[in-house]
Structures are given as structure tokens and as C-alpha cells.
A and B are shown apart, each in its own frame.
Chain A
Amino acid sequence: MDVESQRSDEDLMLAYAAGTAAAFDLLYERHRAPLFRFLLRGISQRALAEECFQEVWSRVITARARYQPEAAFTTWLYQIANRLLIDQYRRAGSRPRSIGEPDAVLEHTPDDVSQQPEHLLSEFEQRRRLQLALESLPDEQRIAVQLRLEQELSLEAIGEITGVGRETVKSRLRYAMDRLKGLLSP
């Protein structure tokens, strides 16, 4: 199992395409939480996020035979997710806002936060402001920030996922980071 867990995403995907179901389990375990977070941040509605999450993996399963290891699996996976997000935005007319249902975003608050009421209020306010700052970003900038800060993807990988060049990604990231820093600064 250790040897299997050390295999790259691409190897696992090829193994799954060849019929090894266990390879998919490993792959899924690696990417399920980050992918779900990415979708939930983008949609902010848990039901829609779950729907998109399942659709992403369904497409991975369906397209397993066509997978080419020239592209990184992560890039391919988030390309699918990004397209689904954009489709979701188009269907909804605009990006769904999480205003009115903050619990959907904040329900998984870490337990190690201080239990003092004023500290809890401060933490809540800080997360709330960050959430609002993220939602205020244009979709392209928000997606670039998420992929960079949460997935730690390189500029090239983000460019592949979003279909733009490296410099465009760099520009989007710079604008987004400046805005977030301004919103998060006291």
C-alpha cells in the first residue's frame, strides 16, 4: 500500500484507466477535500458544490480512457472543475453569493480556536471579511487566487487550467492579492 500511495497521480490515473479500481480510491482520497473546497468557495452553496463535485468525478471516470499523462492530473482535474464552475455561473446569471448562508462556509470551524467570546467574534469577523473579500473578486481573479493559495499551483498550471497565459495569471494574481491585502488589513 505504501508503494501504491507513492505513485504519482498520473500513474494512478493510468492504472485506473487500465482497470485497477483501487488506483481510483487513492486518487480520490488525495484530491477530494481540496477539490471540494475549491468548488465550495466558488459556488458557496453546498448542495450545488456537491453536485458539481460529483459531476467532476463522473467526468474523470468517463474520460479515463482518453486521459493522456502529458498533462498533470491535477491540471486536468481542475480544468474540469473550472469549466463546471463557469457553466454554473452562466446558468445562474452570476456567481452565487454565500450571503444569507454563512454557515455553509463557516460550519467547519477548527476546534482549536479560543473559546473566549470576544476572540470568537474576532475570528468570525476575520473569516467573514475574508469570505466577503473573496466573493468580491472577479471570477477569474478569485479562481486564480484559490488555485494559487489553496492548491499551491504554479502560474503555468493555473494558466493551463484557466486557459490563459502565464503573464495573465500573474497579473490576475497581483490584482487579487492587492485587493485581499487591502480588505484584510485592519
Chain B
Amino acid sequence: MSRQTTHPLDAEETRIAAALARLGDASPPPALDARIRGQAHAAVTRKRPLRRSGGALAAVLALGVGIKVSMSPIPIQPGIVPDPSALQDQSSPAMVAPVPSTRASESNQSALEQPTIERAAADQPRLDKAQADQTRRAPASTPRAASAPPADASRPSEAKQPSSLRHEQRVEPASIPIAPARLASPPASQAAENTAEKAVRSTSALPQPFPDEPPQRAVQSAPPAESDITEARPLILEERAAPGRSEVAAPPPTAARSPRAATMRASPSPAPTADTEAPAAAGADPQPTSSKRQAFGTGGRGALGQTGSAAKSKEPPSDAIAADAKGELDARVELSALIELARKLARNGDADRLTQVLRRITLDYPQAELPDDIRALLEAERSPR
């Protein structure tokens, strides 16, 4: 391993070396020896913090995410309450759910939600009828659509999709039926609904899941009163008391502003669609799609979506799948951060912000599996004060 570094001295060198040796055999003092040895021993017995700091690093990252979420404003739209006409549509098929992931290609959609598609295909005649009705009614009731901003260019054209897939995208059960509860809310907050719509539009980069819908959902309105929130909350409990009526109901309006949330709801697809079929079979669907969309603030995106559908339809499917997966991952991260924030706020006793965070969780991730403590917080939040 080592090379020969020494070489014997010749006679002359030996003589001078002996003279040099007589100059003195100096050696370091014992204290210095002890200090150096101690330093050497400490160096090899010292712990290496970087190798064992995985947990600490993860904790720091989690803390950073939590701080970032807590620093960012939470765009909760208070008092999202439908108009009275939505009350008539509770038995209609749920055609108001947003597209799970607006960037998903058809193949990706079918891979994710094949059972849902099959069930939706069974409902196709009814849904087509409802859609036709909604299309006929839409222009007369939507003078606001003229001001709708341009929609997301990444939205694929729904018109090019198979009808069964179109319906599948709209039929999505909600395991936490919050939005239907708003159907029973008083009609006092058309303005609140418009505000929600406005918030959705303000995130103009978000995809619009209903490109074929008439532009009746364009929103201009003043922010609702805070009392709208408190009025809507008991209705959620009311809806929970009668879940069979609207398990299929549309997701809340804030779901539309978050494609990640839509993706998250789409991918597990565990919820049954039996509830979807039940109200559809009842046949009471005089104004199904438009009114429900209006009620939950998801309408109006149809017109926006049509604007950007052509561009989106050119996107390769692989990109769409990757974007879909990224959206789902982002949604999970965001949900985790929201849960952590809710826990923190609960610990700190910040009731106002906790209410906002819980509402955001409920609205953005209605189908997410929530931890028990968060569920308990939600229940406590819903209970009448």
C-alpha cells in the first residue's frame, strides 16, 4: 500500500546525523500529547448529526410548510348559499361535480374511474336530457356571462369526449355532503354564491370543468355578509340527518378553484354511485344541471372552459397524466398542511381561524379521509353554538 519512503544513510550522512542527534532529543510535553490524543478520540466518537437528522429535517420541513400555509391568506368564501331554485333539484342526478382532473386525458380518466364511468353510462339518457334542458334554459337566465374572464387554456374540449365520459366527469359522490346542505339554506345569499364564483374565477389559471355550459355563471357581486356562514352551517347538519337525499350532491364551489382537490377526490373513487342513481331514477329533474351548478358555484365555468379547450386538447396524454399526478400530490400536501394548521389553531384556541381552516378542508377536500381529531373538530364546528 505504501511506497518505500526511507533510504539508508551513507557514511557521511550517518556522521552528520549522529551530530544532529546530539543536539537534543526533543519531544512534546505530556500535556500536549494528552490534548492531541483527546482531540483524536473525540473526533471519532463524536456523533454525526447529519446522518441522524432525518427526523429533525422532516420536522423542519413540515414546520416550514405549516408556517407557509398559515402565512398565506385562506380564501374562504363565506355564506355560499344557493338560490332558491336549487332547492328543487335535490333529487336530480348530480351533474354538478367538477371534473376530477381537468388535465387528465380520457385514458387516464377511464383508468382512474372506470366503475364510475360505467355507472354514469347507465344514466346517460337521463343526463343527456338534463343537459339539454339546462342548455335550453341557460341563455335566458345568464345575463352576467358576458363579463366572464377567459378560461383556462388547458381544459380539454368536453365536446370531443364521449358522452359517457362527460357524464362520468360530472357524477361524483361526496362523502362529506356539505354542499347539498346548502340547498336547504335560505335564499338570502345569491350574492354569496356570486362571490364564490368570483373567487373561483380569480384563479384564472385553474381549469374549467364544464366547457359546454352556457355562460350563466359569470360572477359579479359584493362579498356576502359573515352571517351567511353561520346561516349555512346548521343546514349542513340538517343534510347529514338525511343523507340519502343528496349523497351525490355537487361539491362545494371552492372545489372548483382547486384542481388538486378535484384530483384528490377522483383518484381514490371509493364512494358508491348508488345514491347518484336513486335520485335520477326518481325522475324529478326539471332543472338539474344549471341550477345545481348555480347553487354550488360551479356553473359558468362551462363557457370559460370552452375558450381554452382547443389548446388543451393538443396536450399529449403523458403530460396530462403527469400533471394529474402532480396535482394529486399537491392536493395531498396541501391537505396535510391544512390538517396540521387546524391542529395548531385548535391547540392555540384560535377559533376564528380554525373555523376558516376547517371550512377550507371541508370545501376543498370533501371526500378526503380525515383524521379522527380533525373530524371531531369538524363535528364540534358544525354543532350549534
Q: In angstroms, how far is the closest chain B Cβ from the Cβ of A152?
A: 5
A157 at the interface (CB under 8 A from B): yes
Are A181 and B12 closer than 8 Å at their CB atoms?
yes
Q: Which of B1, B27, B33, B41 contacts A69 (CB 8 A)?
A: B1
Segment of B14-22, B219-227, B248-256 in the binding face: B14-22
Closest to B6 in A: A152
A1-60 CB contacts (< 8 Å) to partner B:
8-11, 16, 19-21, 24-25, 28, 32-33, 36-37, 40-41, 46, 49-50, 53-54, 57-58
For B13-45 the 0/1 string (1 means CB < 8 A from A) is: 100110111111111110011011101110111
B26 adjacent to A36 (CB under 8 Å)? yes
A101 within 8 A of B: no
Whether B28 contacts A149 by the Cβ 8 Å rule is no
Cβ distance A162 to chain B, nearest Cβ, rounded Å: 13
A53-B28, A54-B35, A110-B22 given; A154·B2 CB < 8 A: no
Contacts of B28 in A (CB 8 A): 32-33, 36, 50, 53
Interface residues on A, range: 35 or more
Q: Are A10 and B2 closer than 8 Å at their CB atoms?
A: yes
How far is it, in angstroms, between the C-alpha of A10 and the C-alpha of B4 when the chains are bound? 12
Report the minimal beta-carbon distance from A61 to chain B, rounded to whole angstroms.
Answer: 5
Q: How far is the CB of B34 from chain A (nearest CB, A)?
A: 11
Taking the closest CB of chain B, its distance from the CB of A107, in whole angstroms, is 7
Contact B22 A131 (CB under 8 A): no
Please state if B23 and A58 are interface contacts (CB–CB under 8 Å). no
Q: What separation, in Å, do the CA atoms of A160 and B21 have in the docked complex?
A: 24
The answer for the CA separation of A127 and B225 in the assembled complex, in Å, is 101
Interface presence of B3 (CB below 8 A): yes
The reply on A89 being an interface residue by CB < 8 A is no
Contact with A58, one of B16, B20, B39 (Cβ below 8 angstroms): B39
Evaluate contact between A24 and B40: CB separation under 8 angstroms.
yes
A window 53-88: CB within 8 A of B? 53-54, 57-58, 61-62, 64, 69, 71-75
Interface of A is mostly: helix
| Chain B residues, Cβ within 8 Å of A168 | none
Q: A24-B37, A69-B1, A73-B2 are in contact. Are A105 and B24 (CB under 8 A)?
A: yes
- Give the nearest-CB partner of B25 in chain A: A108
B160 is an interface residue with CB less than 8 A from chain A: no
Which B residues are CB-close (under 8 A) to A123?
Answer: 22
Inter-chain contacts of B22 with A (CB < 8 A):
110, 123, 126-127, 130
A131, B37: Cβ atoms closer than 8 Å? no
Min CB–CB distance B29 → chain A (angstroms): 7
- Given contacts A36-B27, A61-B43, A155 and B7 within 8 Å (CB-CB): yes
> Does A137 sit within 8 A of B, measured CB to CB?
no
Q: Of the candidates A32, A74, A131, A180, which one forms a contact with B33 in the assembled complex, judged by CB atoms under 8 Å apart?
A: A32
B162 interface residue (CB < 8 Å to A): no
Given contacts A69-B1, A154-B6, contact A149 B24 (CB under 8 A): no
In the complex, the answer to whether B5 meets A154 with C-beta atoms within 8 Å is yes
| Interface assignment of B241: CB less than 8 Å from any CB of chain A | no
Given contacts A32-B27, A156-B5, A177-B13, 16 further A-B contacts (CB under 8 A): A25-B37, A25-B40, A28-B33, A33-B25, A33-B27, A41-B23, A54-B32, A64-B44, A71-B2, A75-B5, A108-B24, A108-B27, A127-B22, A130-B23, A153-B6, A154-B5
Q: What are 22 A-B contacts with C-beta separation under 8 Å?
A: A10-B1, A16-B44, A21-B45, A24-B41, A33-B27, A41-B23, A49-B26, A54-B35, A57-B39, A108-B25, A126-B19, A127-B19, A130-B19, A148-B9, A150-B20, A152-B7, A152-B17, A153-B7, A154-B4, A154-B5, A177-B16, A181-B16
Chain A residues with CB under 8 Å of chain B are 8-11, 16, 19-21, 24-25, 28, 32-33, 36-37, 40-41, 46, 49-50, 53-54, 57-58, 61-62, 64, 69, 71-75, 105-110, 123, 126-127, 130-131, 134, 145-146, 148-157, 177, 180-181, 184
Interface residues of B (CB under 8 A from A): 1-9, 12-13, 16-17, 19-29, 32-33, 35-37, 39-41, 43-45
The 3 lowest CB-CB distance pairs between A and B, nearest first, are A108-B24, A154-B7, A157-B5
